[in-house]
Amino acid sequence: MNNKDIANLIFPDVTMTPEEIFKRYPKRNLKEGQYVTRFAPSPTGLVHIGNFFQAFISYNLARNSNGVLFLRIEDTDRKREKTEAKKVLYDVLGRFGLEFDEYQTLDGKDVGNYGPYVQSQRNDIYKVFAKKLVEEGRAFPCFCKKTEGKEDVLKQRESKFLENDEREYDPCRDLSFEEVKKHIDNGESFAIRFKTKNKGDERIKFNDIIKGELEAKANAKDFIIIKSDGTPPYPFAHAVDDTLMGTTIVVRGEEYIASTPAHIELFEALGFKLIDYCHNPLIYKLNEQGNRRKISKRYDPESNMMFFIENGYPVDAVFEYLLNMINSHFEIWRKNNPNLHWREFRFKPNEITTVAPIFDLVKLNDIAKNIIATYPGEELYNGWVKWAEEFDKPLAQVLKKDKDKFVKVCQMDRDDRPKPRKDIYNYKMMKEKFHYIFERPTPKFDEEDKAKELLKSYINSFKMPSSNEEWFNDVKVVAGNLGYATDNKLYKENPDAFKGNIAKACEFIRVALTGEKDSPTLFNIIEILGEEETKKRLSV
Ligand code: GLU
């Protein structure tokens, strides 16, 4: 009795051959330089920025080369609640508008010829390849769980490679047909393990597209390729799926480098051509002491991609920020091409950063400010309403009820300027930014007496201005009469001769109307507040 008999015994239902499976997955017709990339998330209930970063790299490599990007759901871990987590994943990807050429819709329809694009629907396929390995003596059934009672170790083995680097030949690796049959006849469950050929002291070299040649300890463990529940752990599913689906570059986190030798041994045993790897650095943050630490789900809300949606960042700002992290040339490109969409930016796989990017909200805010500054007022208003409809319903009602007013608020220092104000970086901040539109402020003046004097005088002669010039002239008259310098040059030459300069007078009015020392053009604010409200605010 040989391995073939063992294979037939443990896989009685598997009748297909790898060749037949390959017929269902014909080689992709690619032109020179075209990449097939994928995003292969395990749905966890949130989309982590590190995973999204990789998805975005894959997206760019595919788009820049006119290639293919597909989405593969890696949901073999049955313990997790999958349906809800999958919904979250699709929702987040949809919100960012990251389009895939091939994927499975949420209601289970495959778009593309290389499906199913969901691993839990591919168990039959994995078994065909596992059976082949058993037939060839490169895999074997392992019954340890029941017979040896080493449940903890086995659980650990099933979920990941053991931490220590020792050789891990499994006690079941050389069971005879008769022994296997005895276990099967006893109704024992089993996992399938890979039979490594390594002795535990080899090192192997492999190429990484961005890191160049890497070296790591060869795999020397009989790791599991099919769990006792019939599902494959990551390495086996990766080898089978990325081969069948025609992936040309696997973009994944650098935490996979240590297990790459195991993947390589598996590819070789299966007779598969190795796929190019592109291992990416993790994203870091600086702590208060200026030290690096991994961005964490627990402490950093921005590690969850929904953070950017909930705060109302334009998705293009997030993409541009990620491009900055991926390739340092993006910043210069953006300066030189202010009007091009980021999608026009091209980079090659070997130009992806090897340095761990540090997440910096200030930088993102800066990018977002520049992008929002390009929105005409009405577009800003529409975006604000759309955001508020989901995240601040009472605000949405106010904005919609008084549409004309709030469109004007959004137009201030924007529609009439070649260089609009750059002071908004997300929708969430806008209510606070324009708090004086929603509520009468409580002004605090540096020099209260002087402020009161000026405001009193201004209110006495107040008439609604019809232009910015008219408004400014009115203020000049009032301030000049009270002894303020209306000419800055004169003021600079002899400041003591005046109560202050015209800017100071404007500041008093600004603080009275908005509670702030910095605001958009006051003429616009007066127009929006109207005569009655303006006067109320001026009479402090
Ligand atoms: N499901 C794996 C993960 O989320 C995929 C890794 C890969 O891209 O190959 O880490």
What is the domain partition of the chain in residue ranges? 3-15+122-280, 293-372, 377-433, 448-538
3-state secondary structure of 33: coil
Cα–Cα distances (Å) from 515 to 161, 428, 444, 474, 531, in that order, read 61, 20, 7, 21, 18
Cα–Cα distances (Å) from 97 to 100, 193, 342, 445, 529, in that order, read 9, 40, 14, 47, 38
> What was the pLDDT predicted at 132?
98
41 Cβ below 6 A of ligand 1: yes
CA 274 to ligand 1 centroid distance, Å: 17
Nearest CA to ligand 1 atom 5: 40
Q: How many CB atoms lie within 10 A of CB 446?
A: 11
The closest alpha carbon to 318, from 532, 95, 525, belongs to: 95
CATH of domain 293-372: 1.10.1160
- Confidence (pTM): 0.91
Q: What are phi and psi of 472, to 5 degrees?
A: -70, -40
CA 40 to ligand 1 centroid distance, Å: 5
Alpha helices (H) along 412-447 = 430-433, 435-438
Measured distance between the N- and C-terminal CA atoms of the chain, rounded to whole angstroms: 100
40 Cβ below 6 A of ligand 1: yes
CA 525 to ligand 1 centroid distance, Å: 52
74 Cβ below 6 A of ligand 1: yes
42 Cβ below 6 A of ligand 1: yes
Rounded CA gap, 514 and 508, in Å?
10
The closest alpha carbon to 456, from 505, 502, 504, 498, belongs to: 505
Residue whose CB lies within 8 A of the most ligand 1 atoms, among 37, 42, 242, for a mutation test: 42
CATH C-level class of 448-538: mainly alpha
Cα–Cα distances (Å) from 119 to 15, 66, 218, 371, 531, in that order, read 20, 26, 27, 39, 65
Nearest CA to ligand 1 atom 3: 41
Taking only the tens of pLDDT, the chain with its 540 residues reads: 699 999 999 999 999 999 999 999 999 999 999 999 999 999 999 999 999 999 999 999 999 999 999 999 999 876 666 789 999 999 999 999 999 999 999 999 999 999 999 999 999 999 999 999 999 999 999 998 643 445 555 554 544 444 444 457 888 999 999 999 999 999 999 999 999 999 888 999 999 999 999 999 999 999 999 999 999 999 999 999 999 999 999 999 999 999 999 999 999 999 999 999 999 999 999 988 889 999 998 899 999 999 999 999 999 999 999 999 999 999 999 999 999 999 999 998 889 999 999 999 999 999 999 999 999 999 999 999 999 999 999 999 999 999 999 999 999 999 989 999 999 999 999 999 999 999 999 999 999 999 999 999 999 999 999 999 999 999 999 999 999 999 889 999 999 999 999 999 999 999 999 999 999 999 999 999 999 999 999 998
Superfamily of domain 3-15+122-280: HUPs (3.40.50.620)
> What was the pLDDT predicted at 163?
43
357 Cβ below 6 A of ligand 1: no
Nearest CA to ligand 1 atom 7: 252
237 Cβ below 6 A of ligand 1: no
Q: CB–CB of 275/230 below 8 Å?
A: no
In this structure, the strands spanning 276-280 and 249-253 are: parallel
Cα–Cα distances (Å) from 437 to 402, 411, 525, 527, in that order, read 11, 14, 8, 11
CA 376 to ligand 1 centroid distance, Å: 40
3-state secondary structure of 206: strand
